[in-house]
Amino acid sequence: METADLRKEVHSIPSHSKVLGVWAQAGVWAQAGVWAQASVRARFGVRHWLLLYLLPVIFLLCSCGSSEKQQELNIAEQFGIAYAPLQIMKEQQLLEKALPDVQINWKQYGGPAPIREGMLAGEVDFGFMGPSPVLVGIDNGMKWKFAAGISYNQVALVTDRPEIRSLKDFKDSDRIAILSPGSTQHILLSIAASQVFGNPDKFDKQLVSLSHPDAMDALIADTEVAAHFATPPYLDKELSQGMHVITTGEEIMGEPFTFITGVAQTSFFEERPEEYTAIITALNTAIDYINQNMDAAVSELAPVYGVEKDILKAQMTYQGTIYANRLTGLQRLSDEMYRIGMIKSPIMMEEVCFPGVGNTGKGMK
């Protein structure tokens, strides 16, 4: 072999470090380790060698511990001052204090349907909504129950059309905004249609599903939406624009009833009792705080709702608005839903409530 060729062959041999790298990538730790261990022993001694040998194991154990996913609690709510106790829970971090090792996630939706879907998908653990969609879900096999009440408040069918003074004045082209099919607003309209026309489905083809903010904007903008089943603060804002009430939920039902409830699947109640109890305790604390410290609660919530304090206080103390954890009037609502065919089977309230629901205040009716 010529000298030049020999020099070329020598330079093509990989360096010592490259050889170790190739062996390591190939999994030949035993061969690469002979040189490394010998070098470490020589420089640091056996004790230091053992320490260096164990370091990867220590790092592995630490990384495994830190990679454990934190427990999460996903709670779903909707819009309006009917949910004011939930805002107090958030502002005062009542759940964070009760469950310091749990990540609390609040999700806000425009209606009950996505809350139900979220529960079925495992993305929502505890939800707040009107009682009617809960009853519809139970009737269709949904494994959930009532956990608490939150509030009674005024719900009214509002219109911007001067010529519409009663349900009989609606034309077929008039659109009525509700949260979603099966929502409490939808059920109330169906009951009212049954009372007036003998047909609970009278307005079904005229319904549009909109969140309360979007429905209010549609009315103010004078669109094809002729009416909105509204709650405060949107009800008050619409009335301030010169609109008027056609009928109210209390007129339709003949008595006040719990308008917003808390609901959970039976699996959550059974498998995560500490978190279930923490939610109920925090909710009761928030309700008591509002009822005993209305001015302080208003000061905390005015920035949240983006309204002046005096306006918010008027809305939170509006006729028919009561913050309470008891369930009232729901048996009659359930009976009416069965009568007009919105649910297939009668539902007895004591069978669809978790233990302890309605034990405070006047109790469940």
Give the pLDDT confidence of 102-127 residue by residue, as tens digits.
Answer: 999 999 998 888 999 999 999 999 99
Q: Is the Cβ–Cβ distance between 153 and 322 less than 8 Å?
A: yes
Say what the pLDDT of residue 76 is: 98
DSSP string, 132-173: HHHHHHHHTT--EEEEEEEEE---EEEES-TT--SGGG--TT
Give kind and range of the element (H or E) at residue 352: none
DSSP string, 97-134: HH-TTEEEEEEE-SSHHHHHHHHHTTS-SEEEE-HHHH
Give the pLDDT confidence of 288-345 residue by residue, as tens digits.
Answer: 999 999 999 999 999 998 889 998 998 888 766 789 999 999 999 999 999 999 999 9
Give the pLDDT confidence of 21-53 residue by residue, as tens digits.
Answer: 433 343 433 343 443 444 444 444 545 544 445
What DSSP character marks residue 65?
Answer: H
Q: What are the backbone dihedrals phi and psi of residue 141, each rounded to the nearest 5 degrees, phi first?
A: 95, 5
Where does 72-359 sit in CATH, by number? 3.40.190.10
Q: How far apart are CA 350 and CA 327, in angstroms?
A: 11
Q: How far apart are CA 209 and CA 186, in angstroms?
A: 10
| Burial zone of 337 (CB within 10 Å; 0-12 exposed, 13-18 middle, 19+ buried) | buried
Give the pLDDT confidence of 56-86 residue by residue, as tens digits.
Answer: 544 444 445 445 678 999 999 998 889 999 9
Pick from 258, 280, 219: nearest CA to 349:
258
Give kind and range of the element (H or E) at residue 263: strand 260-265
Q: How far apart are CA 365 and CA 357, in angstroms?
A: 11
Distance (Å) of CA 98 to CA 249, 324, 325:
36, 21, 19
Q: Is the Cβ–Cβ distance between 154 and 320 less than 8 Å?
A: yes
By three-state DSSP, how is residue 356 classified? coil
Lowest-confidence segment of 66-75, 99-108, 203-212, 216-225 by average pLDDT = 66-75
Q: How far is CA 121 from the centre of its chain?
A: 13
Q: How far apart are CA 266 and CA 115, in angstroms?
A: 16
**In the chain, domain spans:** 3-66, 72-359
Distance (Å) of CA 312 to CA 239, 279, 298, 299, 301:
15, 25, 7, 9, 8
**For tokens 């705080």, what's the residue?**
289
